[in-house]
Structure 1
Amino acid sequence: MMIKLFKFLSSKSQVEMIKRGLIVPPGATEKPTKTVTDLLEDFTRSVLGPENRHKSNNMGREHLYKYLPATQAELPVRRMSDSYDTAIIPLGTDMSMREKYMTFHKTIRIGRLLEDLDIFAVTLCYRHILNPKQPSNVSISPYSIVTACVDQIDISHVPLRHDADIRLRGHVTWVGKSSLEATMEVDQIDEKTNAWNTVTNARFVMVSRDPMNKGSAIVNQLLPETEGEKALFRKGEENKERRTQMQTTSLFRKPPSEQERLIIHDQFLRTIDWKSMSFKTRIKPANSVWMADAKLKNMIICHPENRNRFNKIFGGFLMRLAVELAWANCYVYCKSLPTVVHVDDILFRKPVEIGSLLYFSSQVVYTQGHYVMVRVSAEVVQPEDGTHDLTNVFHFTLKTDGMAPEVIPRTYQEAMMFLDGRRHFMDTEHPSPAGGPLAKL
């Protein structure tokens, strides 16, 4: 990607730099001084307190309600630079960490990176919050920051190295009353040039909750001062409107468009047995797979080991399981090693309780050229009555070296999944087939 530099004067006549959607404050160091482990330990100690034992509920947090503000006017306005932070994953020097992040073909496990990004986004939001109502001798924050959705993650088509340091950096770029958008980038060091190359851009939407995670909690307003900051803030507003529009036009609410209906009917015509002229008999086109045969499933037990600080299952852990299942499904489907290139619209509908039986179902829903769109759903299963409660939905785009087989729906339900996958894919930028500049397919 090209590095775009926009120079402008701030109110203090300082020059700031916008680099791939981030504003890097003046004086920021190129190489972080703390690791992701240091970041988590500092965050735990200074924000959440020392308690880390599993509890059946959020005991010991009820007294924190009195420190929450009633309006945003009670909180000081914050700036984007206030939440800026960096951390390093020292894969170049830490052998034990390298083992944790390395795949069997010596690239980086994207699932591990998603876990780190989820934690990093939470810490950025806590850095944004400044609450005068909280006494200095009270270290535990009355806020509970949780992930609402992963809006978008773009991953470089060049595989990440397993033996070179990775840098995380980011800051809050948009704030509502209780919701925050954290924009982050992932860089990897080029040891030959000693330069950091951006390999991933990510945008998470977080929500602020009360101490018991039962209701929303108001956070500080964000004041964009420079033209660059205002552009980032406007982008956050546009992202919010886009998500609202997607919900309004969802196939769960409105029928397919005329163009989409024609696409589905054309698929139907291509699967007709013209000799029998029967609606019951369907013939699979060459180099295609019935959607019903493009599934892969998994069931896990949610143990306390994978909890977050609020005694729910850690969202990053769920993302790791989902992306690895999607990758395995795509591998089986295409019969060649795929690469995850895009993550979008991961919805965290409900928290997952410790002790839950969590059922993951991955489905290839759309293919085009070298690209495969995989949808993964997570449901809590109640063994006593057999009911399923949807908690998470994930969307992943993967790329293979060869042309992916076309996925063909047979039922109306599958046709709707196909169209939904197509919508997600069309909203994503991918390299053109000729390998030229980024273009929307």
Structure 2
Amino acid sequence: METYYKKLTESQITISELMLPSHTNFSGKIHGGYILRLMDQIAFASASKYSGKYCVTASVDKVDFLNPIEVGELVTLKASVNYVGNSSMVVGMRVEAENIQTGAVKHCNSSYFTMVAKNDVGVGVTVPRPIITSLKEARRFHNAIKRIDSKKKHYQIKEEFDHTTPEAFKKLEKFDVKIKF
């Protein structure tokens, strides 16, 4: 079977949406869950566009809400595939909000979604190999590798740590906790 290559630029997606009162939380700001929903949609679109397959969300890396989004602001989400595994892709995205009256733009968050391409019966399928066409894409690919390696180390440490030892309980003391069991 011949290897198929595709430019990462073919995964780029940009969507914009005006934030409405119906998108707010109890404090009057745009609900983080609504933004996460938009992020998941654009991650799906980017990964599916790149792979030509139906894709599902496997994981979401850290999402920091850096700035609140107000009603009436134009939110723009930009996404592209940054890394390609066998059936998985890491989609990087940036969320910005623009005050359409003043033109002021603020960075609201960035995140990375790992998406997996599936066939008709839900089994992971091979995706095209990437063609990297810029230094920015090379940097993003390398950074994705670093995040993947870091996650692997984190899970290894988590598996090795025994939370039942006297040393583990001693560590909890500096957090001013009471243990009653």
Stretches of structure 1 that go unaligned for 5 or more consecutive residues are 1-70, 92-97, 131-142, 271-405, 413-441
- Taking the TM superposition and a 5 Å limit, the aligned residue runs for 1:253-272 are 253-255=160-162, 261=167, 264-265=169-170, 267-268=172-173
Say whether residues 1:408 and 2:160 are aligned partners.
no
Distance 1:149 1:176 in 2: 14
Q: Secondary structure at the match of 2:124?
A: coil
TM-score (normalised: structure 2): 0.87
- Partner SS, residue 40 of structure 2: helix
Aligned counterpart, 1:416: none
Instruction: Name which of 52, 56, 62 aligns with 1:146.
Output: 56
Query: Is 1:88 the equivalent of 2:16?
Result: yes
2:93 to 184, 188, 213: 184
Aligned residue type for 2:95: V
- Structure 1 residue matching 2:129: 3-state secondary structure: coil
Q: Is the 8 A contact 2:58 2:114 kept in 1?
A: yes
The answer as to 2:145 corresponding to 1:237 is yes
Amino acid at match of 1:117: M
- d(CA) in 2 for partners of 1:210 and 1:106? 41
After TM superposition, where is structure 1 displaced by more than 6 Å over at least 4 residues in a row? Answer: none
Q: CA deviation at 1:205?
A: 0.6
- Counterparts of 2:180 and 2:58, CA distance in 1: 31
Is residue 76–residue 96 contact of structure 2 (8 Å, CA) maintained in 1? yes
2:79 corresponds to 1:170 = yes
Q: Over the residues paired in the alignment, what is the CA RMSD in angstroms?
A: 2.5
Cα distance in 1 for partners of 2:8, 2:22 equals 33
Determine which of 210, 217, 221 is the counterpart of 2:125.
217
CA contact (8 A) 2:23 2:34 kept: yes
Matched-pair contact (CA < 8 Å) for 1:124–1:182: yes
Corresponding position: 1:108 with 2:13: no
Contact 1:224 1:230 in 2 (8 A): yes
Aligned to 2:110: 201
Residue 246 of structure 1: which of 140, 150, 154 is its match?
154
Based on CA coordinates, which of the two structures has the bigger radius of gyration?
Answer: 1
Whole-angstrom CA distance in 2 between matches of 1:207 and 1:411: 43
* Whole-angstrom CA distance in 2 between matches of 1:411 and 1:222: 54
CA separation in 2, counterparts of 1:408 and 1:79? 52
Residues in 2 aligned to 1:242 and 1:128: alpha-carbon distance in whole angstroms: 25
Q: Distance in 2 between matches of 1:231 and 1:154?
A: 21
Per-residue deviation at 1:240? 1.4
TM-score (norm 1): 0.38
The SS at the match of 2:63 is strand
Task: Indicate whether 1:78 and 2:6 are aligned.
Answer: yes
Question: Secondary structure in 2 aligned to 1:152?
Answer: coil
CA distance in 2, matches of 1:146, 1:112: 18
State how far apart, in whole Å, the 1-side matches of 2:54 and 2:17 are.
26
